Amino acid sequence: MIDNFIALLADALEKETSDVNRDDKFRNYEEWDSLAVLSVIAMIKTNYNITIPRKDFDELNTISELFEYIQAHR
């Protein structure tokens, strides 16, 4: 399941899937900017049908944390 999420996230960030790992802190990616945030929000809405409030999002750091949050709230 998380592999699929990683593939979707890599696509949203325009990165190679092999360069994205579950323990990565996504904000440290070179590609992470205000436009990347929009892409990730859109990807999560399209594929998991949820939006994440900013205050919750700001507390998520790694890709697996983001994935677990989505699983818990979808």
Partner 1 sequence: MGAKIKQVEYYLPEGILTNEELEKAYPEWSATKLEKKVGIKQRHISGPNETSLDLATRAAIKVLEKEDKDLIDFVLFCTQSPDYLLPTSACLLQSRLGLKTNIGALDFNLGCSGYVYGLALAKGLINSGVCKNILLVTGETYSKFIAEDDISNRSIFGDAGTATIVTYSDEDQLGEFIFGTDGIGAENLIVNGLSARNSYILKDVDRPTLYMNGPEIFNFTIETIPPLIQQVLSKNKLQLSGIDYFILHQANKYILEFLISEIGLDKSKCHIDMLDYGNTVSNTIPIAFKDAFEQSKIQEGDKVLLAGFGVGYSWCSTIITI
Site string for partner 1, 6-35 (x = CB under 8 A): ----------------------------xx
DSSP conformational letter for 37: H
Contacts of 70 (CB under 8 A, 6+ apart): 5, 44, 48, 50, 52
The residue written with tokens 């890709």 in the block is: 63
Q: How far is the CB of 45 from partner 1 (least distance, A)?
A: 5
Q: Is residue 2 a contact residue for partner 1 (CB under 8 A)?
A: no
Q: How far is the CB of 54 from partner 1 (least distance, A)?
A: 5
Q: Using alpha carbons, select from 63, 68, 64 the residue that is nearest to residue 13.
A: 63
Interaction site with partner 1 (CB under 8 A): 34-35, 37-39, 41-42, 45-46, 51-54, 57
